[in-house]
Amino acid sequence: MRMLKRLAVLAALALISAGAAAQTVKIGLINTYSGPMASNGDQIQKAVDLYMKLNESRLPNGVKIEIIKRDDTGINPETAKRLAQELIVREKVNLITGVVWTPNAAAIAPLTKEAKVPFIIMNAGTAMLTTLSPYIARTSFTLWQSSYPMGEWAAKKFKTAYIAVADYGPGHDAQEAFTKSFKAGGGTIVGSVRMPPPTSDFAPYLQRVKDAKPDALFVFVPAGKSATALMKGFGDLGLGQAGIKLIGPGDITTDEELPNMGDVPVGVVTMFHYSAAGERPANKTFVAEYKKTYGDKAWPNFISVGAWDAMAAIYDVVIAQKGKLDPDKTMALLKGWKNPNSPRGPISIDPATRDIVQNEYVREVRKVGDHLANVELETIKSVKDPWKEINDKK
Partner 1 sequence: MYSAPARLRPLEALPWLLAIAVYFAAPSYLPLGAYVFIMILFTLSLDLVVGYGGIVTLGHSAYFGFGAYTAGILAVRLNGDPLLGLAAAALAAGLLGLATGAVILRTRALTLLMLTLAITSIVLEIASSATALTNGSDGLHSVPVDPVLGRFAFDLFGTTAYFYCLAVVLACWTLVRSLVNSPFGAALVGSRENDARMHAIGAPVYARRLQAYSISCALAGMAGALLTQTTQFAGLSTLGFELSGEGLVMLVLGGVGRLYGAFVGPTVYIVARDYLARQTPEYWYMGIGVLLVLIVLFARGGILGLVDVLVNRLRAKRS
- Site residues for partner 1 per CB under 8 A: 31, 33-34, 38, 69-71, 75-78, 81-82, 85-86, 88-90, 102-103, 106-107, 109-111, 114-115, 126, 132, 167-169, 196-197
Dist CA 290 CA 296 (whole Å):
9
- Provide the minimum distance between the beta carbon of 74 and partner 1 in the complex, in angstroms, as a whole number: 8
Q: Which is nearer to partner 1, 115 or 189 (CB)?
A: 115
Q: Which is nearer to partner 1, 43 or 374 (CB)?
A: 43
Q: How many CB atoms lie within 10 A of CB 378?
A: 12
> Which residues of the chain form beta strands (DSSP E)?
23-31, 63-71, 95-98, 119-121, 136-138, 160-166, 188-195, 216-220, 245-249, 269-272, 338-342, 345-349, 356-368, 371-383
Dist CA 17 CA 22 (whole Å):
9
- Provide the minimum distance between the beta carbon of 201 and partner 1 in the complex, in angstroms, as a whole number: 16
Q: Which is nearer to partner 1, 177 or 365 (CB)?
A: 177
Dist CA 233 CA 245 (whole Å):
14
- Provide the minimum distance between the beta carbon of 24 and partner 1 in the complex, in angstroms, as a whole number: 18
Q: Which is nearer to partner 1, 68 or 282 (CB)?
A: 68
- Provide the minimum distance between the beta carbon of 118 and partner 1 in the complex, in angstroms, as a whole number: 16
- Provide the minimum distance between the beta carbon of 327 and partner 1 in the complex, in angstroms, as a whole number: 14
Helix (H, G, I), strand (E, B) or coil at 118: coil
Q: Which is nearer to partner 1, 69 or 157 (CB)?
A: 69
- Provide the minimum distance between the beta carbon of 227 and partner 1 in the complex, in angstroms, as a whole number: 17
Dist CA 209 CA 163 (whole Å):
9
Dist CA 67 CA 45 (whole Å):
11
Dist CA 362 CA 320 (whole Å):
36
- Provide the minimum distance between the beta carbon of 357 and partner 1 in the complex, in angstroms, as a whole number: 25
Q: Which is nearer to partner 1, 75 or 303 (CB)?
A: 75
- Please state the φ and ψ torsions of residue 186, each to the nearest 5 degrees: 100, 5
Q: Which is nearer to partner 1, 133 or 275 (CB)?
A: 133
- Provide the minimum distance between the beta carbon of 127 and partner 1 in the complex, in angstroms, as a whole number: 13
Q: Which is nearer to partner 1, 119 or 158 (CB)?
A: 119
Which of 226, 239, 231, 238 has its CA nearest to residue 261?
Answer: 231
Give the orientation angle of helix 143-157 with respect to helix 169-184, to 10 degrees.
Answer: 30
- Provide the minimum distance between the beta carbon of 35 and partner 1 in the complex, in angstroms, as a whole number: 8
Contact by Cβ (8 Å): 250, 146:
yes
Give the orientation angle of helix 281-294 with respect to helix 302-320, to 10 degrees.
Answer: 100
> Which residues of 259-344 form beta strands (DSSP E)?
269-272, 338-342
Q: Which is nearer to partner 1, 227 or 357 (CB)?
A: 227
